[in-house]
Structure 1
């Protein structure tokens, strides 16, 4: 037996329902990547890329003959886009650490709110992207094209926002999770649906953490400014 085939076909049975191990493992890698992103650790990006590669084979169910045998082009396509955008994020955060005066103690990104212009760009990209990809996914025969399209576009915007250090990216993830959970439950991707619920709670926590970091950074900046003027 080919070891690659064995890996792809390894299945866990729960209550008579077949669940691929690579779906579970891919989501665990994604969760760990989110945790590392909250902590602003550069390794968040390569860890996420491994999970994305595994989940791509899961959501192209018709091609890889998964138990669901469904092709979710948005879910699969976003794994490819994650890999591309994660490469950008990996470079951005690594470069930021290299530019720091004390790289061993430096964080990879400083959280901030997006500017008005950047927020407008997010909204326009969300609307235009969802409309466009819903049409494309429907033409391709994707299962649940509208939900699939928003998950695809929202995931790209959230990942890009994380790379830029925009605190709003956590809110975009929450919006993705709200749509993703019912879609995945209906399609029979139970581990991914459960992990989406976990992600929902986790990204809410991450949003609070980044808000606290912003406030702490602002307070330190004000203290430094006051010490200079005194």
Structure 2
């Protein structure tokens, strides 16, 4: 049995739902990545990268092209986010990652980008049905994930709100696509997101100033 075949095999059954190894392992690593993000640890990015690689197999087996695209975005943005957090300008004087609320202009750009991106990707999936069984839901998750990760890389508290909005659609879609473990894990995601949101919110009020760009990581 190849590694890919093993990843897409059923590990066990829970609540009459088959749990695949790829779905389970990828989401556990994703949970670790989210917890590391809450702690503002730079290791959140390698964890997100690994989670994305594993979940590509899970979504491909479920024939969810939007989910595969989402994970490819996770992989790409994880590399970019790592670079952002190691460049120095995202760090405070004590070496931790600086977090803040976005300006109204930044919020406008994020919302406009999310709306335009969802319309564009949803339209593409609609024109080519073979790309996705759930074109608009997949497009929403695809673009929402990109917006959330970009906001995280920039140290914006709004990153947590974006993840909440993605989860609202992601949970039922996961259950309906036989990715039950993804749906169950999103419940834990929800608790971590609320906890992380509170932590970043409070830290954003500390007024810690980032060090100059180019400072050592």
Same fold (TM over 0.5): yes
Q: Determine if the alignment matches structure 1 residue 200 to structure 2 residue 204.
A: no
Indicate the larger mover: 133-142 or 11-20.
11-20
Name the larger-Rg structure.
1
Pick one of 92, 105, 108 that aligns with 1:120.
108
Q: How far has the Cα of 1:137 moved from its partner?
A: 2.0
Specify which of 65, 72, 77 is matched with residue 80 of structure 1: 72
2:23 counterpart residue number: 23
Query: Which has the higher relative contact order, 1 or 2, with Cα contacts under 8 A spaced 6 or more apart?
Result: 2
- 1:57 is aligned to 57
Q: Is the 8 A contact 2:10 2:18 kept in 1?
A: no
Return the structure number with greater helix share. Answer: 1
How far, CA to CA, are the matches of 2:150 and 2:90 in structure 1? 20
Supply the distance in 2 between the matched residues of 1:31 and 1:82 (Cα, whole angstroms).
Answer: 14
CA shift in 2, pair 1:186/1:98, >3 Å: closer
Distance in 1, matches of 2:136 and 2:19, equals: 25
Whether the aligned pair in 1 keeps the contact of 2:90 and 2:154 (CA below 8 Å) is no
Gaps in structure 1 of 5+ consecutive residues: 62-69, 222-230
Residue 106, structure 1, aligned to residue 95, structure 2: yes
TM score, norm. by length of structure 1: 0.83
Q: Tell me whether 1:158 sits opposite 2:148 in the alignment.
A: yes
* Counterpart selection for 2:135 from 126, 145, 150: 145
Cα shift at 1:124? 0.8
The 4+ residue runs of structure 1 with deviation greater than 6 A are 97-101
- Structure 2 residues not aligned, in runs of 5+: 210-217
Alpha-carbon shift at residue 5 of structure 1 (Å):
3.5
- Take 1:100 and 1:122, find their aligned partners in 2: how far apart are those partners? 24
Q: 2:154 & 2:90 partners in 1: Cα distance? A: 16
Q: Helix, strand or coil: the match of 1:112?
A: coil
3-state SS of paired residue (1:13): strand
Quick check: 1:73–1:137 contact (8 Å CA) kept in 2?
A: no
Question: Against the structure 1 CA distance between its residues 186 and 16, is the aligned structure 2 distance closer, same or farther, given a 3 Å change threshold?
Answer: closer
What's the C-alpha RMSD, in Å, of the aligned pairs? 2.1
TM-superposed CA distance for 1:14, in Å, is: 3.0
Q: What CA distance in whole angstroms lies between the structure 1 residues aligned with 2:15 and 2:101?
A: 45
| Alignment CA distance shift 1:2-1:73 (3 Å) | closer
What CA distance in whole angstroms lies between the structure 2 residues aligned with 1:55 and 1:195? Answer: 13
* Alpha-carbon separation, structure 2, partners of 1:129 and 1:3: 34
